[in-house]
Amino acid sequence: MGVFVSTDDPGPAGHEQVVFCQDRQSDLKAIIGIYSTALGPALGGTRFYPYASEEAALADVLDLSRGMAYKNALAGLDLGGGKAVIWGDPDQVKSEALLRAYGRFVQSLGGRYYTACDVGTYVADMDVIARETRYVTGRSVEHGGAGDSSVLTAWGVFQGMRAAAEHVWGSPSLRGRRVGVAGLGKVGRHLTGHLVDDGAEVVATDVDPRALEWARTNHPAVALVADTAALVAADIDVYAPCALGGALNDDSVPALRARVVAGAANNQLAHPGIEKLLADRGILYAPDYVVNAGGVIQVADEIEGFNFDRAKLRATRIFDTTRQILRLADDEGVPPAVAADRLAERRMADVGRLRAIHLG
Ligand SMILES: NC(=O)c1ccc[n+]([C@@H]2O[C@H](COP(=O)([O-])OP(=O)(O)OC[C@H]3O[C@@H](n4cnc5c(N)ncnc54)[C@H](O)[C@@H]3O)[C@@H](O)[C@H]2O)c1
C-alpha cells in the first residue's frame, strides 16, 4: 500500500503526512496519519489494536484519518483529519511509559495533530498522554475534558434521524414511528431515551444480557428481539445500527423493511455499492459519519475550553447538515453517501484555499 497520492487514490489530495513512531523499551509502535490540515489541525482518536501486520496497521490509519477529514469538515469544525494507531495488544503492552512515549511523539508534531480516544484507548489514557503533550482531547472532566462522548453522539444521531424523517415523511417528529436500535451500548441507550421522549416506539436488540436488562428496567415499553437479523426483518420505519461496522451488507439490505437508516455505528456500508442498493430499494440512508459526529464535536470543544451547551448547539446542527445533504443528493441524483463526500470536499477546498490570502 502506497502512502503517496497515486492515480487510484480515491481522495482529492492524498495524505499530507504519515509518521512512524517507535520506543523499543516500552514496546511502542505507533503510526500517526494526517490526511488533511486544510481546515485546521488534524483531530482523530488513537486506536490501540493487535493488528496482524504493520501493513494492516498502516492501511487502517490511512483509511481512518481520511474518514476523519470528511467527518470534521461536515461537522463544521475548524479541524482537519487525522488518526493514529498503536500496534499491539493493549492488555499486554499498555503502560504509563508507552502512553507517555506516544504523547511525546504527538507533541513533536507541534499541534498539527490532536489525539482522542478510540477503540482500545480510554479517557484515563488520555490523561496520561496529556502529561507529555498539550494536543490531546477526550480527557476526564477533572482535567477539563468533555467526559463521555456518547452523550452528544446520540444527540447528533437523533438530529440526523429527524432530518431523514422530515425528508421521507414531511415531519421531523418520530412520534408513532417504529425505530429499531441495534446495540444498546453507550450511544444506543442515550438514543433510546431521546426516541422515547419524542414518542417513538423502540424495538431493540443486543448480544449482552446486561444491555437487555438495562432496557427492561429503564424503558419497559421497549420491545426486545432476539438478534439483529430479527430486527432488520421486523416491521420498523427506521433502522439505527449502533453496534459494529458493516451493518448494511448484502444480507441485511435486501431484508430491511425500514424506509430510513440512521445510526451511530462507524462504517455501516459493508462495501462500495451498498449505498446504491439502498437507494434502489427506496431506503434513505443518512450517512454514518455525518450523523455520528456529535462525539468528535464534543471532544473538539475541549480545545476552546469545554462548554457543554456550546458543544450541544453544534451537535444540534447535524439536523441542518443532514437535511442539506439529502437535498443535494436529490438535486444531483446521487446517493446521500456520495452527496456527503462532495459537500465535505467542497468545504475543504473552499475554506482551505483561504489560507492563500496573504495577511500582511
Ligand atoms: N461513543 C461515541 O462517542 C461514538 C462516536 C461515533 C461513533 N460511535 C460508534 O457507535 C457504535 C456504538 O458505540 P458505543 O460507544 O455505544 O459502543 P458500546 O461498546 O458502548 O456499545 C455497543 C453495543 O453493541 C452491542 N453489540 C455488539 N455486537 C452486537 C451485535 N452483533 N448485535 C447487537 N448488539 C451488539 C454491545 O453488546 C454493546 O452493548 C460503535 O460502532 C462506535 O464506533 C461511537
| CB-ligand 1 contact for 298 (6 Å cutoff) | no
Residue 71 known to be catalytic: no
Atom number of ligand 1 nearest to Cα 264 = 10
Q: Sign of the C-alpha dihedral, residues 191, 197, 198, 200?
A: positive
266 Cα–ligand 1 center, Å = 9
Q: Is the CB of 67 within 6 Å of ligand 1?
A: no
CB 149 near ligand 1, within 6 Å: yes
pLDDT of residue 259 exceeding 50: yes
- What pLDDT is attached to residue 268? 95
- Residue 257 burial by Cβ neighbours in a 10 Å radius (0-12, 13-18, 19+): middle
Ligand 1 atom with the smallest distance to the CA of 244 is 41
Q: Percentage of the chain surpassing pLDDT 70?
A: 96
Q: What is the pLDDT of residue 245?
A: 87
d(CA 249, CA 277) in angstroms, rounded, equals 9
Angle between helices 318-332 and 150-169 (to 10 degrees): 40
Query: pLDDT for 86-136, tens place per residue?
Result: 999 999 999 999 999 999 999 999 999 999 999 899 999 999 999 999 999
**Distance (Å) from CA 359 to ligand 1 centroid:** 45
Give the pLDDT score at 13: 59
Task: Please tell me the distance from the alpha carbon of residue 178 to that of residue 315, in angstroms, as a whole number.
Answer: 24
Task: Give per-residue burial for 181-212: e unless 16+ CB within 10 Å, then b.
Answer: bbbbbbbbbbbbebbbebebbbbbbbeeeebb
- Determine if ligand 1 sits within 6 Å of the CB of residue 297: no
Question: How does residue 8 score in pLDDT terms, banded at 50, 70 and 90?
Answer: low
